[in-house]
Structure 1
Amino acid sequence: MQQSVSISQRADDAAKLAALQRVKAYATAALVVCVAVFIVCRLYADVSPVIGFIGAFAEAAAIGGLADWYAVVALFRRPLGLPIPHTAIIPTNQARIADNLGGFIETNFLAPDAVRRKLGELDFAAQVAEWLSDAKRSEALSNFVARLVPRMLEAVEGSGLRTFVAQRVTEQVQKVEVGPLVADVLSTFTQDRRHQKLFDELIDLISRFLTDEDAQASLRDRIRAELPTLAKFFRADAYLLRKIVRSSATLITEIKADDDHPMRHEFDRFVDNFINDLRTSEDYRGRMDKLKQDFLARPELKTLARDMWKEARAFIERDAGADDSTLRRHLTAMFVEVGESLADDPRIRSEMNEGFVITLTSFVEAQKGGVSSFISEQVRSWDLGQLTRLIELNVGRDLQYIRFNGMLIGGIAGVALHTLEVLVLS
């Protein structure tokens, strides 16, 4: 591609050079014709008064053509190689041209208003949306990202970024007050008295305990140990156990059947007081902070985090290299979905375009001084012959037409002066 562009450029330069030489030849031939006509008219001036007018035209045209030839040549080189002052203007002023060109581009083409206005005409977001909406392009992008994933993970592993992130996360966790956080979670849980389900589970647990034979035997032994000897003789322990179990079963049945039972309200008050203590009690706060610090300091947590990182990295690397990669498939679907959503949301596109304009304008504003310096340095480094040839190839053809204009205007002026001379002196 680069070679074909170079060949095309050389062919274009050759065509410009041929056109320039052709116009030069025409202008020189016209000048020679004017001089020849002037000489002939001088030799045959007495033949007819008309000859005087023709000669005046040819003389002034030759002078005008020579003057404009000198002006055009003086731009690029010294006429006839003579060291005439203020000639070879472009080569002599290469440094100034370089600086002025760089400054001109910086001031007029890279000005913030001009850049912002031009960037505002472009719909970057629409182009991004169109590009991402194409499944093949999104798939190619996901493949590219998947190829980068192992290197990214390796860079994270070797750069210490993982340790840095872990430290920052730990610091942020240490700043969190656990008591109020747990209180907020419990407050959410207790909305609409959902904590009463937990109370029902506790009641069921007590009910199962009271009907369990081993539990009853253990409770009877405890009652017997507390009774005096005479009560034991009359088997008061069995009586008391039956009364306790029967009364408890009756109470449990009443609680289950009544959502507005006093015991339930008592449980509500207990939960509310506990949540309030979590938020306000210094004692609870200290206990929670101690629990949090002990948890974060446990070596098992660090080992777990390290093992999770290794497993996650190994899985991602294996999946990224697989033929049927889940990662690539999900990335492709995500990119396509983002493109389609972006295409259907003009507000987001407008915000994106505004962001692009602000970012790119700021970038251009920050770098335009460097662009100006780069252009200036490039022009300064050009070979004088190359610089002259480049400018002459691109504007020299139009400059040669100045010679034709000079001959025409000079000739007309010559005729006018000759007419004035005839009228005044006759």
Structure 2
Amino acid sequence: MERSTTRTGAGGGRPVATDPPSAAGLARDLSAFTAADREKQRGVRQMKIIATSALVVAAVVYALATWAERSGAGAWAGYVAAAAEAGMVGALADWFAVTALFKHPMGLPIPHTAIIRTKKDQLGENLGEFVGDNFLAEDVVRQRLRAVGISRRLGTWLAEPEHADRVTAELATAVRGALTVLRDSDVQAVVGEAITRRADAQEVAPGLGNVLEKVVADGGHRKVVDLICVKAHDWLVEHRGSVLDAVSGGAPGWTPRFVDQKVGDRVYRELLRFVTEIRDMPEHPARGAIDTFLADFARELREDRQTREKVERLKSEILARGEVQDVIASAWSSIRAMLLAAAEDEQSELRLRVRASLISLGSRLASDERMQHKVDDWLEGAATHVVTTYRGEITSLITETVAGWDADQTSRKIEANIGRDLQFIRINGTVVGALAGLAIHTFTHALGG
């Protein structure tokens, strides 16, 4: 998010708010001169002196050779004068060409001069189109990625234990950072809503019926029945008085007390005997009745509409309870604490498994050509999608950035970076012009002779 900066007013007074830099301002900053640019500019000046000195030398030689020729020094003077004259012409022509790139020669507004300054925006557009057509084309991106072989290189790199350790450490740091940034209340709300919404949308009765049917078929419920019988027997042994009180409390008021006690004692002994028999007899009829009941209940959960509706209502009531929502929300706290502890401990099971998985993945990528092709195809598809989708934005970044540059600064900056090489054109023009002039003069005299 952008925010305004402040500066201190004149005299150390109250801070004055300033607006954030605009895009054009940032672009001008990019075209501003740096210390490296100034150093390169000094090199350009030195080369300009050398190139200009070559022109001056050619002019001096021309003057001396012309004087010598008119003084009767001989034919050689004409050859030297012709070479020097052509060298001056070549030097001046190349000086004009080089200078016309950056400024008006001698300050004269000659058409098609100061090209970089006047055609800056057009050059930016052409550069953007050039990059888009030649670097961001789909076939170019695919060929380049295929030639690089990213998956094989990545696999070879990941297969090294020290590299896997580094990636694991970076992932752990990213996990810690993400968990630190996330607010527990937000995550808890999202987790609670997701679980509740998923539970509401999914009918649970058929699934419960299938699970219960499998448990009954495998006899998995019998240990639960055994445990209940043992606990029921122990409870009856320890709470005989509670059973007698319950029987006596339900008896009519007109019955004698000793009768109530005898009835209660008989009920207690029969109940204790019944529970003991179920506990000790695996083939007790009550156990078979339990099996039949659970099997029938599993079938009703899958097939009976009324039973399924009751289960759904019960599910909704349970999910709506605040205690259940608190449990769901608190699950994130447990998961967060577990992830933080695992991320910070280098010997945690999580980090060791991640490290082993990375090494295994690297080994497969380095050796499995089929997997390499699959990963390369995915990377190529992702890269070409980005290129074809955002090519306009990428090229517009170039054109808009160049358009925001200051024309004079841009011209000076480009000249500082390539001007030294351009001065060699002037020097070469002087030398080539001299050789061409000498050759033409020689050829002319040869024809005339």
Same fold (TM over 0.5): yes
Q: Which region of structure 1 is more displaced relative to structure 2, 141-150 or 86-95?
A: 141-150
CA contact (8 A) 2:212 2:295 kept: no
Mark the CA change 1:283 to 1:415 in structure 2 (over 3 Å): closer, same or farther.
same
What is the match of residue 370 of structure 1?
393
Mark the CA change 1:145 to 1:263 in structure 2 (over 3 Å): closer, same or farther.
closer
What is the match of residue 51 of structure 1?
77
Q: Pick the aligned partner of 1:273 from 296, 307, 310.
A: 296
Q: Which region of structure 1 is more displaced relative to structure 2, 35-44 or 395-404?
A: 35-44
Amino acid at match of 1:65: A
Mark the CA change 1:87 to 1:132 in structure 2 (over 3 Å): closer, same or farther.
same
What is the match of residue 414 of structure 2?
391
Amino acid at match of 1:178: V
Q: Pick the aligned partner of 1:343 from 359, 382, 396.
A: 359
Counterparts of 1:362 and 1:190, CA distance in 2: 54
Counterparts of 2:274 and 2:188, CA distance in 1: 58
What is the match of residue 165 of structure 2?
133
Amino acid at match of 2:308: R
The alpha carbon displacement at 1:393 in A equals 2.1
What is the match of residue 344 of structure 2?
329
Amino acid at match of 2:211: V
SS across alignment from 1:344: helix
Q: Pick the aligned partner of 1:152 from 178, 182, 185.
A: 182
The structure where helix makes up a greater share of residues is 1
The alpha carbon displacement at 1:19 in A equals 4.2
Confirm or deny that 1:180 pairs with 2:206: yes
What is the match of residue 167 of structure 1?
193
The alpha carbon displacement at 1:263 in A equals 8.2
Confirm or deny that 1:28 pairs with 2:55: yes
User: Larger C-alpha radius of gyration, 1 or 2?
Assistant: 1
Mark the CA change 1:365 to 1:42 in structure 2 (over 3 Å): closer, same or farther.
farther
Confirm or deny that 1:39 pairs with 2:66: yes
Counterparts of 1:209 and 1:411, CA distance in 2: 121
The alpha carbon displacement at 1:270 in A equals 4.6
Counterparts of 2:232 and 2:308, CA distance in 1: 31
| Per-residue Cα deviation, 1:34-64 (whole angstroms, up to 9, x for no partner) | 53355335424x4433333333222222222
What is the match of residue 219 of structure 2?
193
Mark the CA change 1:54 to 1:103 in structure 2 (over 3 Å): closer, same or farther.
same
CA contact (8 A) 1:76 1:91 kept: yes
Counterparts of 2:399 and 2:78, CA distance in 1: 54
CA contact (8 A) 1:16 1:394 kept: no
Q: Pick the aligned partner of 1:13 from 15, 27, 40.
A: 40
CA contact (8 A) 1:60 1:413 kept: yes
Instruction: Summarize the alignment of residues 294-309 of structure 1 with structure 2, pairs less than 5 Å apart.
Output: 294-302=317-325, 305=328, 308=330
Counterparts of 1:206 and 1:391, CA distance in 2: 94
Alignment coverage as a number of residue pairs: 382
What is the match of residue 108 of structure 1?
134
Counterparts of 1:161 and 1:279, CA distance in 2: 35
The alpha carbon displacement at 1:285 in A equals 0.9
Mark the CA change 1:117 to 1:26 in structure 2 (over 3 Å): closer, same or farther.
farther
The alpha carbon displacement at 1:289 in A equals 1.4
Mark the CA change 1:197 to 1:403 in structure 2 (over 3 Å): closer, same or farther.
closer
Gaps of 5+ in 2: 1-32, 252-262, 367-371
Mark the CA change 1:298 to 1:201 in structure 2 (over 3 Å): closer, same or farther.
closer
What is the match of residue 3 of structure 1?
none
Instruction: Summarize the alignment of residues 404-423 of structure 1 with structure 2, pairs less than 5 Å apart.
Output: 404-423=427-446
What is the match of residue 88 of structure 1?
114
Amino acid at match of 2:165: S
CA contact (8 A) 1:124 1:353 kept: no
Mark the CA change 1:288 to 1:335 in structure 2 (over 3 Å): closer, same or farther.
same
| Per-residue Cα deviation, 1:366-393 (whole angstroms, up to 9, x for no partner) | 4443332232233233333322222222
Amino acid at match of 1:152: L
Mark the CA change 1:191 to 1:27 in structure 2 (over 3 Å): closer, same or farther.
farther
Amino acid at match of 1:169: I
Gaps of 5+ in 1: 1-5, 226-236
- TM-score, reference length from structure 1: 0.69
SS across alignment from 2:182: helix
What is the match of residue 228 of structure 1?
none
What is the match of residue 233 of structure 1?
none
CA contact (8 A) 2:65 2:81 kept: yes
Counterparts of 2:275 and 2:234, CA distance in 1: 10
| Per-residue Cα deviation, 1:234-280 (whole angstroms, up to 9, x for no partner) | xxx9xxx9xx99x9899979964x7xx99877765554333222211
What is the match of residue 68 of structure 1?
94
The alpha carbon displacement at 1:165 in A equals 4.3
Counterparts of 2:178 and 2:351, CA distance in 1: 16
